[in-house]
Chains A and B, each alone.
Chain A
């Protein structure tokens, strides 16, 4: 049965691969081999140059000697379509591929084979595959990376079937991969392996989570984090940090999560996906610790960096949290947040919530919270939403103070559902002190006399808002400049186009001058 399944898969996969790449050899290579050889050629090329370049430096582990290029190459390779296709490969085929691609004495291959769960292997098919593989073993240098990759495929394919088995297997595989990497003589190994090992850890943590032994992995992750920090394996470091943050947040051990986040620096060279995760986690920690402004900036940055065409679920989760954080910091999230493609259904409870907050209606707020409490609980936002009560009261008070020049405290209590006039008196007094509303309470008459709204342009407020926006623009510009990547041969082109570039610069200068003039004008107003 397993064989037939594998067959059908193969049949599925065979057509797209030649269609996608016209040049590859006529007998269609199995997808794994194809991907493996691609990796080998990718690694073998730059590594020769990098090896000779870094050898005089001798310091194998020194920060300067580590070519980050290999890591990036592997990362790009991992996200290519061929590799993605390999995820669906059956375990039997994987074992066959190990035999073909890895040296006979490879420990990792042995472990992968030992991890097989049920199902007979079709010998004929394997033989068939062997004959259709013309190139034999890939480049020696690529072996450790291939081993690590195969290991991650192995864990991934068992994971959906048997999480406990995947968990047990991952421990052995990590050990074997680590040993193989240590004995391998190539100097470029650590950076090239980094994304792959990170992936292994991610699968391991996932398997642990599914099989309910998360707590047991934690010390191991801490140990691995220490090692990866020492060897500057940034991708591993980033992944491990995120895994640990995830664990602490899931355990509701916010204190530990906050301390971990505060006492570590997230590596700069980590991949964008890990950075997004980290931003989300730190945003959540910030929100739980009442640091709403910080959480807000983290979450907006996260949304901006998150991939726009995939990971919808992730973006939905971030949006949910962002909406709550915005409400908590006294802002009303823009309406189009709730109508983004694919999110309308998921964000609906939050839309209702925000509508109540905006209106300042405490009674409907309570009903909405009750109605959707299961959703909020599931999203882990329930306690944050509980804190919103305070914001609702404030918003209600503000609308009342804007619409009435004088209103009795009993009426306020009734409108906002506050219980008693005495309670309302305290609340109004506090709001006046917090600057939410402006007015005077008359105790004898039991009413609130609202002051006319002050002309906001006579205050410092606009300049503060202006400064905040400019700061944001400048920061975005600077990060954009830092994020620029140039293609290898861009320099030659730029030489040719230099003349044109000069003209461009001039126009830029003019624009800048205009902006400056505008700035000066606006400054004059204050």
Chain B
């Protein structure tokens, strides 16, 4: 088992794609081995070498999560995390591994990308102050706060200050979500905007990329010279009275009142 882990460590630090594929296979083998450990959740038997088994399993799954990020496979990452997190919560006594904080931070990034904000907050709630003080964990927490308020420009500066290269994968996916949000906000808050400004606000590096984005997702934006006009398609009619809903409400009041009387 230990030798397997050593191999794994070497493969992960090697980092080439062939190595990664091999590491993935290796992790699968290790997981099969893990099944025989009764000291892991949900059984949690206190077998003689429980402590060792648990920390072995934790570090194997930590590698698994990191390999998944390197392979850019979100589903695999989630699966690994689902196996790993119960070990963290139910065996708090295992020694802190070097990868724990990184994996915790990556998990937060993952939840942010998936827009599972309630899970995100639940996870943060479970972290100790020491966990939260770590830059790897602190990064996604701060990021979420900025995004909630809407300071999207902070996102740009955050990209420059990644705590680890592994975060890049999630940042890339997050960028498209952020772009969508900004574009939605732009539509309603500007009448017209210079194309160059819009491109800057949407964090595109080149005009072509920007044009492609607009062409793909924002078909109703109109170009007028070098300006973009957002309000062209908006309909200025009064909203209808939702008669069916009002009728339903009134009827329900009537039945309730009847019951009372």
Task: Name A's B-contacting residues (CB within 8 A).
Answer: 251-256, 258, 288-291, 383, 386-387, 389-390, 393, 418-420, 422-423, 425-433, 439-444, 459-460, 463, 467, 470, 474, 477, 508-509, 512, 515-516, 519, 523, 526
Contacts and interface: CB of A to CB of B under 8 A. Distances in A.
Given A389-B145, A440-B190, A526-B241, A254 B153 contact: no
A426 B152 contact: yes
A253 B194 contact: no
Given A474-B256, A516-B257, A523-B250, A426 B153 contact: yes
B189 A289 contact: no
Contact of A426 (B151, B190, B242): B151
Interface stretch (B57-65, B99-107, B118-126, B206-214): B118-126
A390 B149 CA distance: 5
B161 interface: no
Given A290-B117, A429-B182, A519-B253, 4 more contacts: A252-B125, A289-B122, A383-B125, A386-B145
B232 interface: no
Given A289-B118, A389-B149, A420-B153, A429 B185 contact: yes
B247 to A, nearest CB: 10
B212 to A, nearest CB: 22
A288 to B, nearest CB: 6
Contacts of B89: 251, 253, 256
Contact of B189 (A256, A441, A512): A441
Given A289-B121, A393-B149, A426-B153, A433 B246 contact: no
Contacts of A422: 153
Contacts of A515: 257
Nearest to A392: B149
Contacts of B184: 433
A440 B191 contact: yes
The 4 lowest CB-CB distance pairs between A and B, nearest first, are A430-B150, A429-B185, A254-B122, A289-B118
Given A418-B151, A463-B246, A519-B253, A258 B122 contact: yes
Given A389-B149, A426-B150, A383 B185 contact: no
Interface string B90-123: 0000000000000000000000000001110111
A523 B125 contact: no
Nearest to B238: A458
Interface string B174-210: 0000000110111111110110010001000000000
A444 B123 CA distance: 42
A508 B187 CA distance: 54
Contacts of B151: 418-419, 423, 426-427
Contacts of B150: 426-427, 429-431
A444 B197 CA distance: 9
A431 B148 CA distance: 11
A507 B259 CA distance: 16
12 contacts: A254-B122, A290-B118, A291-B118, A393-B149, A419-B151, A425-B201, A427-B150, A429-B150, A440-B190, A470-B253, A512-B260, A523-B250
Contact of B261 (A288, A419, A423, A508): A508
A470 B249 CA distance: 10
Nearest to A508: B261
A223 to B, nearest CB: 14
A460 B239 contact: yes
B172 interface: no
Interface residues of B, number: 45
B86 to A, nearest CB: 10
Contact of A432 (B117, B121, B123, B185): B185
Contacts of A474: 253, 256
B234 to A, nearest CB: 12
B109 to A, nearest CB: 18
**Majority DSSP secondary structure for residues of A touching B:** helix
B72 to A, nearest CB: 26
A45 to B, nearest CB: 37
A419 B150 CA distance: 13
B215 to A, nearest CB: 22
B79 interface: no
Contacts of A523: 246, 250
A290 B154 CA distance: 23
A279 B219 CA distance: 48
A432 B189 contact: yes
Nearest to B90: A215
A463 B247 CA distance: 12
Contacts of B123: 255
A474 B255 CA distance: 11
Given A252-B126, A288-B125, A443 B257 contact: no
Nearest to B44: A219
Contacts of B190: 429, 440-443
A450 B118 CA distance: 33
Contacts of A459: 239
Nearest to B89: A253
A346 B197 CA distance: 51
Interface in B127-162: 127, 145, 148-154
Nearest to A254: B122
B223 to A, nearest CB: 16
Contacts of B253: 470, 474, 519
Contacts of A429: 150, 182, 185-186, 188-190
A251 B193 CA distance: 51
B257 A439 contact: no
A433 B121 contact: no
Contacts of A254: 121-122, 125-126
Contact of A467 (B122, B127, B181, B249): B249
User: Which of B122, B150, B249, B260 gathers the greatest number of chain A CB atoms within 10 Å?
Assistant: B150
B158 to A, nearest CB: 13
A255 B122 contact: yes
B224 to A, nearest CB: 15
Contacts of B181: 430
Given A428-B189, A440-B190, A443-B197, A383 B124 contact: yes
Contact of A433 (B189, B241, B249, B257): B189
Given A290-B117, A508-B261, A519-B250, A427 B149 contact: yes
A90 B152 CA distance: 66
